[in-house]
Amino acid sequence: MAKCDAADSLILKIAVPVPLDRLFDYRPSELGNSAEFQRGARVLVPFGKRQCVGVVMGSANGSTLASRSIKPVIELLDDTPLLSALDLQLLEWAARYYHHPIGEVVATAFPTALRQGLPATLQCERYFAPTAAGRAPDVDLGRATRQKDLLRRMLSREPAWSAAELAGHKPALRALIDKGLVEPRMPDPSDGPVVLGAALAANPDQQAAIDAVGADLGRFAVHLLEGVTGSGKTEVYMQIIARTLALGRQVLVLLPEINLTPQLEQRFRQRFGVGIETFHSNLTDRQRQQAWLSMRAGVARILLGTRSALFTPLREPGLIVLDEEHDGSFKQQDGFRFSARDVAIARAKLLNIPVVMGSATPSLESLANVAQGRYRLSHLPHRAGNAKPPAFQVLDIRGKKLQAGLSEPLVTAIGAELAEGRQVLLFLNRRGYAPVQICHDCGWVSRCHRCDANLVIHAGIHKLRCHHCGYEQALPRQCPACGVGELQALGLGTERIEETLNELFAGHRIVRLDRDTTQRKGALEGYLQQIHRGDADIVLGTQMLAKGHHFPNVTLVAILDIDSGLFSIDFRGGEKLAQLIVQVAGRAGRAELPGRVILQTRHPRHALLHSLLSHGYRAFAETALSERRAAGLPPFGYQALLRAQAGNAGAPQQFLGAAIQCLTDFTQSGVQVLGPVSAPMVRRAGLYRYQILLQSDKRPALQRLLDFWVPRLADLREARSVRWSLDVDPLDLY
Half-sphere exposure of residue 626: CA atoms within 13 angstroms, side-chain side: 5
Of Zn ion, ligand ADP, none, which one sits near residue 385, judging by CB under 5 to 8 A according to partner kind?
A: ligand ADP
Task: Tell me the HSE value of 51 on the side-chain side, using a 13 A CA sphere.
Answer: 11
**361 contacts: CB under 8 Å, gap ≥ 6:** 326, 578, 579, 582, 583, 617
Query: What's the N-to-C CA distance of the chain in angstroms?
Result: 55
Integer CA distances (angstroms), 52 to 27, 203, 365, in order: 15, 54, 39
**Segment (H or E) for 607:** helix 607-615
Tell me which of Zn ion, ligand ADP, none is bound by residue 466, counting a contact when its beta carbon lies within the kind-specific cut-off of 5 to 8 angstroms: Zn ion
**Is there a contact between 370 and 461 (Cβ–Cβ < 8 Å)?**
no
Phi/psi of residue 615, nearest 5 degrees: -120, -5
**Smallest distance, Zn ion to C-beta of residue 464, A:** 10
Say which amino acid occupies 77.
L
Coil/strand/helix, residue 380? strand
Rounded to a whole number of angstroms, the minimum distance from the CB of residue 232 to ligand ADP is 3
- 93 exposure class (CB count in 10 Å sphere: 0-12, 13-18, 19+): middle
Q: Provide the pairing of β-strand 221-227 with 182-184.
A: unpaired
Cα angle value 186/187/192 (rounded, 5°): 160
CA-wise closest residue to 278 among 266, 288, 286, 268: 288
Residue placing its CB nearer to Zn ion in the complex, 439 or 546 = 439
Interaction with ligand ADP in 224-243: which residues (CB under 6 A)? 227, 229-235
Question: In angstroms, what is the C-alpha Rg of the chain?
Answer: 28
Q: Nearest distance from residue 588's CB to Zn ion, in Å?
A: 36
Whole-number minimum distance, CB 269 to ligand ADP, in Å?
15
87, 109 Cβ separation under 8 angstroms: yes
Residue with nearest beta carbon to ligand ADP: 232
253 part of the interface to ligand ADP, by CB under 6 A? no
State the minimum distance, in angstroms, from the CB of residue 456 to Zn ion: 10
147, 206, 306, 542: residue in contact with ligand ADP (rule CB under 6 A): 206
**Minimum CB distance to ligand ADP, residue 456 (Å):** 33
Closest approach of Zn ion to the CB of residue 337, in Å: 22
Report whether 462 contacts 524 (CB < 8 A).
no
Q: Give the residue with the Cβ less far from ligand ADP, 355 or 438.
A: 355
Report the DSSP pairing between strands 554-559 and 596-601.
parallel
Size of the site for ligand ADP (CB under 6 A): 15
* Among the listed residues 470, 471, 468, 450, the one whose alpha carbon sits nearest the alpha carbon of residue 683: 450
468 binds, among ligand ADP, Zn ion, none (CB under 5 to 8 A by kind): Zn ion
Distance, in Å, from the CA atom of 37 to the CA atom of 42, rounded to the nearest integer, reads: 9
Report the residue number, 317 or 589, with the smaller CB distance to ligand ADP. 589
| Contact of residue 674 among Zn ion, ligand ADP, none (CB under 5-8 Å per partner type) | none
What, of Zn ion, ligand ADP, none, does residue 234 touch, CB below 5 to 8 Å by kind?
ligand ADP
Contacts with Zn ion, residue ranges (CB under 5 A): 439, 441-442, 444, 448, 450-451, 466, 468-469, 471, 479, 481-482, 485
**Closest distance of CB 89 from ligand ADP, Å:** 33
Quote the CA–CA distance of 733 and 588 in Å, as a whole number.
Answer: 33
B/e letters for 583-605, b = 16+ CB within 10 Å, e = fewer, are: bbbbbbbbbebebbbbbbbeeee
Q: Which does 439 bind (CB under 5 to 8 A by kind): Zn ion, ligand ADP, none?
A: Zn ion
Q: With CB cut-offs between 5 and 8 Å by kind, which of ligand ADP, Zn ion, none does residue 232 bind?
A: ligand ADP
CA dist 630 → 626, 627, 636, 732 (Å): 6, 5, 9, 20
Could you tell me if 104 and 19 are in contact, meaning their C-beta atoms sit under 8 angstroms apart? yes
Determine, following the binding rule CB under 6 A, whether residue 202 of this chain makes contact with ligand ADP: yes
713 by DSSP, 3-state: which? helix
Judged by CB, which is closer to ligand ADP: 251, or 291?
A: 251
Residue 471 contact among Zn ion, ligand ADP, none, beta carbon within 5 to 8 Å by kind: Zn ion
Strand 127-130 and strand 161-162: pairing? antiparallel
Tell the smallest beta-carbon distance from residue 383 to ligand ADP (Å).
7
Determine if 390 is a binding residue for ligand ADP (CB under 6 A).
Answer: no
Please say which residue, 69 or 478, places its beta carbon nearer to Zn ion.
Answer: 478
**247 touches, from Zn ion, ligand ADP, none (C-beta below 5 to 8 Å by class):** none
Q: 329 vs 500, which CB is nearer to ligand ADP?
A: 329
In the complex with ligand ADP, the residue whose CB is nearer, 95 or 209, is 209
CB of 235 to ligand ADP, least distance (A): 4
Q: Which C-beta is closer to Zn ion: that of 113 or that of 479?
A: 479
Task: Give the one entry of Zn ion, ligand ADP, none that residue 444 binds, where binding means its C-beta sits below a cut-off of 5 to 8 angstroms depending on kind.
Answer: Zn ion
Min dist. Cβ of residue 695 to ligand ADP (A): 35
Minimum CB–partner distance for residue 305 and ligand ADP (Å): 18
- Is the Cβ of residue 16 or residue 238 nearer to ligand ADP in the bound state? 238
Q: Is 254 in the site for ligand ADP (CB under 6 A)?
A: no
The gap from C-alpha 428 to its chain's centroid, in whole angstroms, comes to: 22
Q: Which is nearer to Zn ion, 223 or 467 (CB)?
A: 467
Residue 351 Cβ vs ligand ADP, minimum distance, rounded to whole Å: 25
Which of ligand ADP, Zn ion, none lies near 479, with the C-beta cut-off 5 to 8 A by kind? Answer: Zn ion
Using the rule CB under 6 A, is 384 a contact of ligand ADP?
yes
The entry of Zn ion, ligand ADP, none that residue 200 binds, CB within 5 to 8 Å by partner kind: ligand ADP
Three-state secondary structure string covering 210-270: HHHHHCCCCCCEEEEEEECCCCCHHHHHHHHHHHHHHCCCEEEEECCCHHHHHHHHHHHHH
Residues that bind ligand ADP (CB under 6 A): 200-203, 206, 227, 229-235, 384-385
